[in-house]
Amino acid sequence: MDEKKLVEQMIEPIKKAVTTLPKPTMDALEKAKEIEDDAGRVQLEAILQAVDIGESEGIPICQDTGTPTFFMNLGSDYPALDELNTIKGSLRKAIQVATEEVPIRPNTVHPFTGKNPGDNTGINIPWISWSITEGSDLTMTYLPKGGGCTNMSQLTMMTPGRGIKGVKEIVLERIASMEGKPCPPTIVGVGIGGSASIAMNLAKESLLRPVGQRHRESMIADLEAELMERANRLGVGPMGVGGKTTVLDVKIEYDYRHPASFPVAITPQCWANRRVSLKLLPEGSIEEV
């Protein structure tokens, strides 16, 4: 694979990710606008207008273009497994080029010195998460999740005896307490089980599922629907000014847990639910999925 060619092909998709919203998210926002009135409606109108401008002018909808993160699904039979280092290097380089060209905001800061290198890179950033799956495809999602909503993330190591009722309490209490801060209406990602770090990963990965798409297991799907309905009765509303739409969706993913531990991780995604999913063909070309 040619790194330069890969980098060139990545810029347009990165731009698309930060200047547009996926259709299911747009549909949910449009629907929300219809049921809101007063201040909440004004917020949604501004949101939809901002998306329009972002798309038509090719500029980032939101100035916070997030921490650059890629979720990779690597088929174990992918024909170009010996090119993974080139791919990794290209993603990093693509982020540096996109920072200048799109442009996206330089969002990496050294935690101790406060220095911002200005190109969206740093130790382990862009963050690239790999999962090995069956098949021969390599697909990836670029998820530029903003800092405001990420700051509202929470991990609870729940007493297992509280059970599913405890999970519901924790999720609803969190949505209530974060109010307007994560830029509602949000998509609330919930990760359950595993360990502390596994649960947090699951919460974020749950956000990869499109708005409106329920969990594959009906028991979890029902829980998602119940939490969504209850969350929208809390009255936080668009941007926290009050109203009927606090969340656009609730997503849950789970793993098995330790008998003594019941991790419940929450990470909200702001309404600017930006992403792009791509397929990287073994000869080095990129297709949008």
Partner 1 sequence: MKILKTPLDPDEVKSLKVNEPFKITGKIFTARDAAHEKLLGLAEEGKEAPLKLKDYPCFHCGPVMKKENDTWHVVSAGPTTSIRMEIFEDKFMDEFGTKIFIGKGGMGEKTSEALQEHGAVYAQFTGGAGSLMAGSVEKVEDVHFLDELGVPEAVWVLRVNEFGPLLVTMDSQGESIHRDVSEEVQKNLDRELSSL
Minimum distance from residue 118 beta carbon to partner 1 (Å): 7
Nearest CB to partner 1, comparing residues 183 and 203 = 183
Distances (CA, A) of 11 to 39, 100, 209, 280, 289: 37, 10, 23, 14, 16
Nearest CB to partner 1, comparing residues 25 and 277 = 25
The residues, ordered by sequence, that sit 6+ positions from 215 with a Cβ below 8 Å of its Cβ are 209, 221, 224, 251, 252, 253
CB atoms near residue 281 (< 10 Å):
15
Question: 3 near 80, Cβ under 8 Å?
Answer: no
The residues, ordered by sequence, that sit 6+ positions from 49 with a Cβ below 8 Å of its Cβ are none
Nearest CB to partner 1, comparing residues 240 and 263 = 240
Nearest CB to partner 1, comparing residues 126 and 237 = 237
Site of tokens 């990963």: 201
Site of tokens 């405890």: 166
Dihedral angle sign, alpha carbons of residues 278, 279, 283, 285:
negative
Minimum distance from residue 162 beta carbon to partner 1 (Å): 11
Ramachandran angles phi, psi of 287, nearest 5° = -120, 140
Nearest CB to partner 1, comparing residues 4 and 115 = 115
List interacting residues with partner 1 (CB under 8 A). 39, 42-43, 46-47, 49-51, 53-54, 57, 59-65, 103-107, 109, 114-116, 118, 146-148, 151, 165, 168-169, 172-173, 176, 179-181, 183, 230, 233-237, 239-242, 270-272
Nearest CB to partner 1, comparing residues 106 and 284 = 106
Minimum distance from residue 100 beta carbon to partner 1 (Å): 9
Minimum distance from residue 139 beta carbon to partner 1 (Å): 27
CA 100/CA 95 separation, integer angstroms: 9
Minimum distance from residue 181 beta carbon to partner 1 (Å): 4
Minimum distance from residue 234 beta carbon to partner 1 (Å): 5
The residues, ordered by sequence, that sit 6+ positions from 20 with a Cβ below 8 Å of its Cβ are 51, 54, 55, 61, 274
Nearest CB to partner 1, comparing residues 116 and 195 = 116
Distances (CA, A) of 269 to 94, 133, 134: 24, 26, 29
Minimum distance from residue 30 beta carbon to partner 1 (Å): 16
